Amino acid sequence: MIEQLLADLAQNRDPGLSGVFRERLDAAAMKRVAFSERTNQVLKANVPEGAKSAVLAALAESLAKAPAELIKQLFEGGLAIWKEWRGVSTERRKQITTRIEAQRWKPFAEIAPGL
pLDDT value of position 92 = 96
**pLDDT band at residue 60, thresholds of 50, 70 and 90?**
low
Alpha-carbon distance 23 to 7, whole Å? 14
- Convert the pLDDT of each residue in 93-110 to its tens digit: 999 999 999 988 878 788
114 within a domain of the structure (yes/no)? no
Residue 18 lies in a domain: yes
Tell me the pLDDT tens digit for each residue of 4-46. Answer: 999 999 999 998 888 899 898 888 888 888 887 887 788 777 7
> Does 73 reside within a domain?
yes
User: Is 7 a domain residue?
Assistant: yes
| Within a domain: 115 | no
Are residues 9 and 1 in contact, defined by beta-carbon separation less than 8 angstroms? no
Residue 72, in any domain of the structure: yes
- The answer to whether residue 77 sits within a structural domain is yes
The whole-number pLDDT of residue 63 equals: 61
113: in domain: no
How far is 23 from 25, CA to CA, in rounded Å?
5
Tell me the residue range of the domain where 38 lies. 2-105
Nearest-angstrom CA–CA distance, 68 and 70:
5
Cα–Cα dist 99/112, whole Å: 24
Count the residues in the chain. Answer: 115
pTM of the model as a whole: 0.65
The one-letter code for the residue type at 88 is: V
* Number of domains comprising the chain: 1
